[in-house]
Structure 1
Amino acid sequence: MAMLKGLPLAFLVICFSCYLISVPSLASSDEFLQCLREKIPSELVYTQSSGNFTDVLASSIKNPKFFTTSTARPVCIVTPSDASHVQAAVLCGRKLGVRLRVRSGGHDYEGLSYRSACPYEVFGVVDLASLRSISVDRPDSTAWVDSGATIGELYYAVAKNDSQAAFPAGECPTIGVGGHFSGGGLGMIMRKHGLSIDKVVDARMVNADGDLLDRAGMGEDLFWAIRGGGGGSFGVVLSWKVQLVQVPPAVTVFSIAKTLDQCAIDILMKWQDVAPSLPADLTVRVKVQGQQAVFMALYLGTCSSLVSTMGDRFPELNMTSADCRSMTWLESAALSFTDMSSTGTVEDALLSRASGMSIATKGKSDYVRSPISKNAWKKIFSWFAMNGSGLIMLEPHGGFMDTVPADATPYPHRSGVLYVIQYIVFWQGDGGAASTSWLAKFYDFMGHHVSKNPRQAYVNFRDLDIGQNVPVNGNVSSTFESGKAWGERYFMGNYQRLASVKAAVDPTDYFRHEQSVPPLLQRSK
């Protein structure tokens, strides 16, 4: 026991609880695989003994820190080409006590869609990459999109069908639709049109009983929960029907960098006040890295109109027509998330599915409801002087976001939010310890300047540091109370309703991972 001295208590509890889990025996795992082979074409099931198992597992992993020899891997990967294959996988898993994790794009910040934080867990993965069809109904201005499609593929299909149609979603084209929609879907036109989930009008999913349901079949409570309640808690959503939005024939973008010597802090102070209250057609987000702030904008209008608006509302940035770039909305969606540059064709940017296995990352998030002081910004820049690999992205809310009640969807961070902060550190090779240590300390510092009681976080920027489910009494059901640590930070007052929905549709907690919503079970009297 001497070797355990000094380890955090939470770490010991989690590891010991993993050891206590009543995991399936090897015989049960074999039976599970046999069950799959009887119900699903063999070429769609990859076991650890399959020659290409490793290639399939790595195919959409975006973070190499979750692809090491110590990472807990699934006993198999099911790559369904039809809803019936997903139903069969769920029924086999329920029958033989093997849980399933669900992967669409592989962007989960903690890798929970394809790995377990518990080295003893026996689980399978349903990889939806082959379910990626997109069907656009131009007269109805809607589209059905499968969860395995990427948002880049969705953008491309929509705009190629109608150049003035678009959909509000994120800025990284390789994100899978399933995970992105499940957590909310922030993006550059959310101030005008809302989150992705605000435009979802129907869905098809397989529940914990293996039933295939649409909105009418699942009922409004479950339909509410899957639109922002986080992936992997309520079932396997196979496809989504979305309402498209209209954009002008041309939009305008700019990217303006300001160093500390160019009054970056004073401009940031002004940005905090003005960005959430600008016209909804205009989003100005900021990247802070090193000793500069980069202000990046998307405007659903012309350059001349944008110059006029910026001159009236944000003259401190000194934006001029020389900063404007005019392009189609589809071309703007293909720009780099971090600097709004373009490389290659629109097709290259939006349709590539290349995995990101060269650079490892760790992310966190915060919401800001009161402006951060000038003195605090000076200290923030001093933190970045210590680490050149870290950055923060500041994404303003306001506009449409202020019009949606906090309980309309599970995503509660609506009225009163100035902006969301995404923290990211990058490293290659063995540099992870230094980078993550810096991020943890910086995040602690930022706790004085962001939302409190609870300190809010965005579920799509998943962070196990803020808490995770721990099995209780040797079984695999986590509790509502223990889930509050992270659940109320992601969902605030909506966490209890999510747990109640979970209890109604999956009371045995079949769909479970380290931050899945636990069922709120009523105690017997």
Structure 2
Amino acid sequence: MSLQRVSGCLALGFIVSFFSCSAASPSPDGFLACLRAKSLPSELVHTQSSGNFTHVLASSIRNAKFFTNATARPLCIVTPTDASHVQAAVLCGRGQGVRLRVRSGGHDYEGLSYRSARPSSEAFAVVDLGANLRAVRVNRLESTAWVDSGATIGELYYAIAKSDSRLAFPAGECPTIGVGGHLSGGGVGMMMRKHGLSSDKVLDATLVNADGELLDRAGMGEDLFWAIRGGGGGSFGIVLSWKVQLVHVPSTVVAFNIAKTVEQGAVDILTRWQDIAPCLPTDITLRVIVQGQQAMFQALYLGGCGSLVAMMDEQFPELGMTSADCQAMSWVQSAATPFLSFGGNGTLEEALLNRTTGLSRSNKVMSDYVRRAISKAAWEDIFPWFAKAGAGFILLEPHGGFMGSVPAAATPYPHRNGVLYVMQYLVSWPQEGGDGGTAATAWIEGLYELMGQHVSKNPRRAYVNFRDLDIGQNDDEAGGTFEGGEAWGERYFVGNYRRLAAVKAAVDPTNYFSNEQSIPPLR
């Protein structure tokens, strides 16, 4: 079945008119009976009593701390193979008081796509798009692609390159991220200074709304189409597929990794980087990873080595980059190589198409936006934190270029003009043994508190795709109120939060699609 272009179904619209947001009391048995009545194949519904339930649940969990007996688990997992299965899940869920959580790649840092942080009495099921809805259809002549939400960005990259090595898509650096979640939250990556966020390149989408209707861009309207391109997943419906605009890249790109220790002047170079990186030509993105007592400068340049060396020599001589640092490769190799993705060695197919996950480590992530360069003296105070017990690392990704040319209200992602870089704090620890993450958690919380004086304020901004429940949660089990969500909503979306809530009120007024940080309706 093609998901490319569809309209709302009058029959389904008639059926759902009889349903309210939820039944008087949740009926898990009624939900499963409803799915059977709608002829959903039994092999696509994995209940807790199913022999493969644990395997399916764990298949794309990326954070081991959410795979314990204490974690609230879904009553079942639905693995749809076409749109009608998703529509059935929505209709049955509303009719029986069972909410749905939607998973594509499982990279939600708080695990909200497959677990609940609310009391275990909440009845919910998971619609797992990553199991079967993973097709990628590239139109080489139009330089576009339709990609299902359950595909990973690695699978998208591979399909594009297989069709035409001179085509690409601006998205993230980790191949196992699900397309659905990535595009729903914006999608930062190594080509955003040239081409923008992933969501900036979305041309159309197919979505199942809270009434069970299957809509394309024309059917959903421009307000909802605006909201799904950066407003975060889990609020407005279930996006099944996205039409994206592809971009042209050279046959060969250049990457480099240059590490500088504190003794080699890392503090001075990093301080200077803040002024340089957002203002470099848009063909280059130069990010930094600070870990231990060194700063790793990583670049992707859409050009040749000679021009890159000349550029760096003129604009950032402090880094000391030479032709010996150049790594020439195709664009798709840059997306697959350990140079950027922290992955392992292997073939291109193994690097981009591998969907396996490990449950040996837990993690915690936080984020900030920096709008004014942090002083050298401040960095001298910050660097010792990376020698503390439990220390993780920070990743600094520059904006500027295309990002600064887009109005803040063009999409829900507001962090555009005036942003120097987005900063991700990440710490991990072994799930088994050790101190259970006590030192790691104390480290990230302490560093985050210290950084408060140096980052954006009023509000202190955060990136929704680096989801963090510590900055706030909806204020009740029904999904929250607009006022109760402002604490976290303004940090992710700034002035766009109110418009998102207005869209929510128009398309899902009873707040069926809700979680701990879903957009509440504006009453």
Shorter chain as normaliser: what TM range? over 0.9
Q: Which residue of 1 aligns with 2:264?
A: 262
Aligned equivalents of 1:291 and 1:366: distance in 2?
21
Of 451, 456, 463, the match for 1:458: 463
Aligned equivalents of 2:518 and 2:165: distance in 1?
38
Q: Which residue of 1 aligns with 2:4?
A: none
Q: CA deviation at 1:431?
A: 3.0
Q: CA deviation at 1:470?
A: 1.9
1:59-94, CA deviations, whole angstroms, 9 ceiling, x for partnerless residues? 000111000000000000000000000000000000
Q: Which residue of 1 aligns with 2:114?
A: 114
Q: Which residue of 1 aligns with 2:6?
A: none
Q: Which residue of 2 aligns with 1:248?
A: 250
Q: Which residue of 2 aligns with 1:151?
A: 153
Aligned equivalents of 1:102 and 1:206: distance in 2?
12
Q: CA deviation at 1:340?
A: 6.3
Answer yes or no: is the 8 Å Cα contact 2:173–2:341 preserved in 1.
no
TM-score, scaled to structure 1: 0.93
Of 406, 418, 421, the match for 1:419: 421
Q: CA deviation at 1:449?
A: 0.4
Q: 1:204 to 1:392 in 2, by over 3 A?
A: same
Answer yes or no: is the 8 Å Cα contact 2:334–2:340 preserved in 1.
no
Answer yes or no: is the 8 Å Cα contact 1:296–1:339 preserved in 2.
no
Q: Which residue of 1 aligns with 2:19?
A: none
Q: CA deviation at 1:356?
A: 2.6
Aligned equivalents of 2:128 and 2:385: distance in 1?
39
Partner amino acid, structure 2, of 1:317: L
Aligned equivalents of 2:280 and 2:243: distance in 1?
30
Of 397, 400, 404, the match for 1:398: 400
Q: 1:458 to 1:23 in 2, by over 3 A?
A: farther
Of 484, 487, 490, the match for 1:485: 487
Aligned equivalents of 2:331 and 2:342: distance in 1?
13
Answer yes or no: is the 8 Å Cα contact 1:255–1:339 preserved in 2.
no
Answer yes or no: is the 8 Å Cα contact 1:131–1:147 preserved in 2.
yes
Aligned equivalents of 1:422 and 1:86: distance in 2?
34
Q: CA deviation at 1:214?
A: 0.1
Equivalent runs, 1:51-90 vs 2, <5 Å: 51-90=51-90
SS at match of 2:282: coil
Is 1:360 aligned to residue 362 of structure 2?
Answer: yes
Q: Which residue of 2 aligns with 1:12?
A: none
Of 208, 212, 233, the match for 1:231: 233
SS at match of 2:504: helix
Aligned equivalents of 2:344 and 2:247: distance in 1?
24
Q: Which residue of 2 aligns with 1:369?
A: 371
Q: CA deviation at 1:379?
A: 1.1
Equivalent runs, 1:426-505 vs 2, <5 Å: 426-428=428-430, 429=432, 430-471=435-476, 476-505=478-507
Aligned equivalents of 2:34 and 2:361: distance in 1?
38
Partner amino acid, structure 1, of 2:403: M
Q: Which residue of 1 aligns with 2:284?
A: 282
Aligned equivalents of 1:190 and 1:351: distance in 2?
23
Aligned equivalents of 1:477 and 1:63: distance in 2?
24
Aligned equivalents of 2:152 and 2:73: distance in 1?
24
Answer yes or no: is the 8 Å Cα contact 1:23–1:122 preserved in 2.
no
Q: Which residue of 2 aligns with 1:98?
A: 98
SS at match of 1:381: helix
Q: CA deviation at 1:341?
A: 7.4
Q: 1:186 to 1:50 in 2, by over 3 A?
A: same
Aligned equivalents of 1:51 and 1:142: distance in 2?
40
Q: Which residue of 2 aligns with 1:315?
A: 317
Q: 1:423 to 1:403 in 2, by over 3 A?
A: same
Q: CA deviation at 1:254?
A: 0.4
Q: CA deviation at 1:37?
A: 1.8
Q: CA deviation at 1:335?
A: 2.0
Answer yes or no: is the 8 Å Cα contact 2:23–2:95 preserved in 1.
no
Q: 1:302 to 1:110 in 2, by over 3 A?
A: same
Q: CA deviation at 1:23?
A: 9.3
Partner amino acid, structure 2, of 1:125: V
Partner amino acid, structure 2, of 1:57: L
Stretch deviating more after TM superposition (30-39 or 451-460)? 30-39
Q: Which residue of 2 aligns with 1:407?
A: 409
Q: CA deviation at 1:359?
A: 1.6
Answer yes or no: is the 8 Å Cα contact 1:289–1:388 preserved in 2.
no
Aligned equivalents of 2:479 and 2:238: distance in 1?
19
Q: 1:299 to 1:387 in 2, by over 3 A?
A: farther
Answer yes or no: is the 8 Å Cα contact 1:191–1:398 preserved in 2.
yes
Is 1:125 aligned to residue 126 of structure 2?
Answer: yes
Aligned equivalents of 2:313 and 2:341: distance in 1?
23
Answer yes or no: is the 8 Å Cα contact 1:46–1:78 preserved in 2.
yes
Q: Which residue of 2 aligns with 1:3?
A: none
Answer yes or no: is the 8 Å Cα contact 1:173–1:334 preserved in 2.
yes
Aligned equivalents of 1:275 and 1:81: distance in 2?
44
Answer yes or no: is the 8 Å Cα contact 1:251–1:328 preserved in 2.
yes
Aligned equivalents of 2:347 and 2:391: distance in 1?
28
SS at match of 1:486: helix
Q: 1:328 to 1:240 in 2, by over 3 A?
A: same
Aligned equivalents of 1:423 and 1:222: distance in 2?
31
Q: 1:477 to 1:384 in 2, by over 3 A?
A: closer
Partner amino acid, structure 1, of 2:463: Y
Aligned equivalents of 2:436 and 2:380: distance in 1?
27
1:234-283, CA deviations, whole angstroms, 9 ceiling, x for partnerless residues? 00000000000000000000000000000000000110000000000001
Q: 1:395 to 1:425 in 2, by over 3 A?
A: same
Stretch deviating more after TM superposition (436-445 or 451-460)? 436-445
Answer yes or no: is the 8 Å Cα contact 1:37–1:45 preserved in 2.
no
Answer yes or no: is the 8 Å Cα contact 1:255–1:340 preserved in 2.
no
SS at match of 1:261: coil
Aligned equivalents of 1:311 and 1:393: distance in 2?
24
Answer yes or no: is the 8 Å Cα contact 1:104–1:178 preserved in 2.
yes
Is 1:33 aligned to residue 35 of structure 2?
Answer: no
Q: 1:90 to 1:337 in 2, by over 3 A?
A: farther
Stretch deviating more after TM superposition (429-438 or 511-520)? 429-438
Aligned equivalents of 1:278 and 1:388: distance in 2?
35
Aligned equivalents of 2:473 and 2:479: distance in 1?
13
Aligned equivalents of 2:339 and 2:114: distance in 1?
25
Q: CA deviation at 1:375?
A: 1.1
Of 350, 353, 370, the match for 2:352: 350
Stretch deviating more after TM superposition (99-108 or 422-431)? 422-431
Q: CA deviation at 1:338?
A: 5.8
Answer yes or no: is the 8 Å Cα contact 1:499–1:520 preserved in 2.
yes
- Identical-pair percentage: 71
